Amino acid sequence: MDIREKVEKALDQIRPYLIADGGNVKILDIVDNSTLYLQLVGSCGNCPMSMMTVKAGIEEAVRKDVPEITSVISLNSEEKAISTSV
């Protein structure tokens, strides 16, 4: 399984919660097999709680299943970068 597949599998654990709130997450890119760029879409993209979603939900799921990822950078629909280190 390549790193993108591992990340997708990790994100699949959090997706039901995002979808229930009218949103989702998609991978934009994985650079050097360590930096994950993603985008929150739907209502999650504009949500004022998006930073918490990235930090407490997405980052935790990725950290648990894909330790190779050391940084998570999220671009929401307003193009504000949310960067966290894993």
Instruction: Find, among 59, 45, 76, the residue nearest to 7 by Cα.
Output: 59
Higher pLDDT, 4 or 53: 4
Q: Where are the alpha helices (DSSP H) in the chain?
A: 3-20, 43-46, 50-52, 59-65
pLDDT score of 51: 85
Query: Is pLDDT at 83 greater than 60 in this prediction?
Result: no
Query: Tokens for 1?
Result: 């399984």
Query: Tokens for 78?
Result: 């307003």
- The Cα 38–Cα 34 span in angstroms is 13
pLDDT score of 78: 47
Query: pLDDT tens digit string along 28-78?
Result: 999 999 999 999 999 888 888 888 888 888 999 998 999 999 999 988 644
Here the CATH number for the domain that contains residue 31 is: 3.30.300.130
Specify the number of domains making up the chain.
1
Domain range enclosing 60:
3-85
